[in-house]
Amino acid sequence: MVQRQIKKQVFGQAHVVRIDSGPGWRGILEDEINEVLTSPLQTYKFVPEVRTDDEGLVVHNIDFRQFLELPLRLLTASEILLQLDTKHVGSFGEFESFIQSIPWEIYLPAGASVKVRCQSYRSALYHEGKLDKMVLGVLHKKGFVTGGIPYYIRIEQKENRCTAFLSINQEPMFRRKYKTDLSHPASIQEHLAAAAIRWVWGKDPVDLIYAPFAGSGTMVMESWLYAHKPPLDLWRPFPQLQAMPDFPESTWNFIRGKLAKSEVQATPARAVEWDNKGIEALRTNLDYASLAWPALKSAWEAIAEDFLGDTCPPQFKNIFLPLNPPYGLRLEENTEELYARLGQWLHTGFQKDQRRFGFVLLADSKAFHAFEKGVGPQHMNGIQSFTQGGQHIRCVSFDIAAIP
C-alpha cells in the first residue's frame, strides 16, 4: 500500500520546493536555480517554474527526480524544503486534522526521529509552542520519535493557511564539511562566499584563483566548486534524504555520475595566509578536501606570507581574487589603513598585462572609502550588501584590466 502511495504521490506528481538563500543574496540564488533547472542532467516529466514569496524562492511543478539535482548542484542555498501539503486551517481542531491527514509514512522511514518547528504569522493560531506539541503528538502516535539525528519538519501557519515542509538536510546546506580543521576565526559561511563568487565571476575565464587572505580555505574551495561544479555530497552525504522510503537510488547515482564526469583539471590556486598556525590549518583542510576530490591534489599552493610580501606569478593573465581580509567581518582600529594598502597592492603587486578582478568584503564605510581611494573608483564595479550573524557586510567588486 505504501509503495503504491509513493509511486502515485512522490514519483507520479509534480512537487513544490522552497529554497532559502543567505540574507541579501536572493537574486543570485534565483539565477543559480534557473541555471540548474534549465540545464537538467536528464529529461524529466514536468517543466518547473520559479516564483518568489515572502519567505524565499519557490519552485513549482518539479519532478521528484529533478528535485534530487538541487542538493547536489546548488551552491548558494542555505536550506531546501520539500512541501508536503497545504490547506486552509482556521482552528486548532482543523490544524490537528490537517497534520493527521499528511501521509508521513511515505516521506519518513518507520521510527524516524523528528524535530518540529512551527511558525505562525497573522493567525489566530498564534501559540507556536502549542502547535509544536500538537504536531509532535500526532507524529508520536504514528511511531516517530524525538532524540537522535532528526528529520526537520517546518509548519507555517499564515493567516488561515497551513503548509507543511520537510527539510532534506539535517544541517544547513552551507556546511559542506570539506574542512577538518575549524580553528581559524571569523570564517564566512560557505553559501555566502559562493554567492559573492557567483556575483562577480560570472562566465569570465580564469587562469588563477588567488586568495591573499585564505583563512581556513573557504574562498579557495568555493571558487573551485563554482568553476568545476562537482556533486556537493563529496564530503557530506545526505543520509536522511537517501533513507526516504523507496528512494530512487539509481537516479541519485546517475546524477552524481554525470556531475563527476564533467570534472576537468582544477584551476590553479594560490592560497596565502600570514599566521603560522593558520597556514597549517589551511594546508590540512586543502589536503583533506583533495582526498575526496583528487583533481585538487596538484592544483594549489599554500604560502605563509603577508599579502604585501607576496608576488603573483607572471604567467597567469586572468586572476580571480576573492578577498576576505582579517578585518572583513569585524571592526578594528587600523581597518582604514589595511584597506587602503590592499587597494594600492592591487596595482603594485601585479604585472601590467595581468587582469585582476574579484571582490573584497568590508565591515564599515570608512574601510570602503579607504579601499576606494587605494584601488581607484574607476575600477570598482558594484556593491552588494548582506548579513552574517547580524553583522552588516559590504561586498565590493573590482576589475583592473590588463594593459598590453
- How would you class 113 by CB atoms within 10 Å of its CB: exposed for 0-12, middle for 13-18, buried for 19 or more? middle
* SS3 call for 185: coil
Give the pLDDT score at 301: 95
pLDDT above 70 for 5: yes
**pLDDT per residue over 194-221, tens digit each?**
999 999 999 999 999 999 999 999 999 9
Triad 206, 211, 212: Cα angle to 5°: 135
Radius of gyration of the chain (CA): 23
State whether the Cα torsion 136-137-140-142 is positive or negative: negative
**In the predicted model, is pLDDT for residue 331 greater than 50?**
no
- pLDDT tens per residue, range 369-392: 999 999 999 999 999 999 887 888
Look at residues 157, 166, 85, 165 and name the one whose alpha carbon lies nearest to residue 126.
Answer: 157
**What per-residue confidence (pLDDT) applies to 1?**
61
pLDDT for the residue 329: 45
What pLDDT was estimated at residue 170? 77
DSSP 379-400: GEEEEEEEEETTEEEEEEEEEE
The pLDDT tens digits of the residues spanning 103-112 come to 999 999 999 9
273 to 211, 326, 356, 395: CA distances (angstroms): 9, 10, 19, 21
Q: pLDDT tens digits for 337-356? A: 889 999 999 999 999 999 99
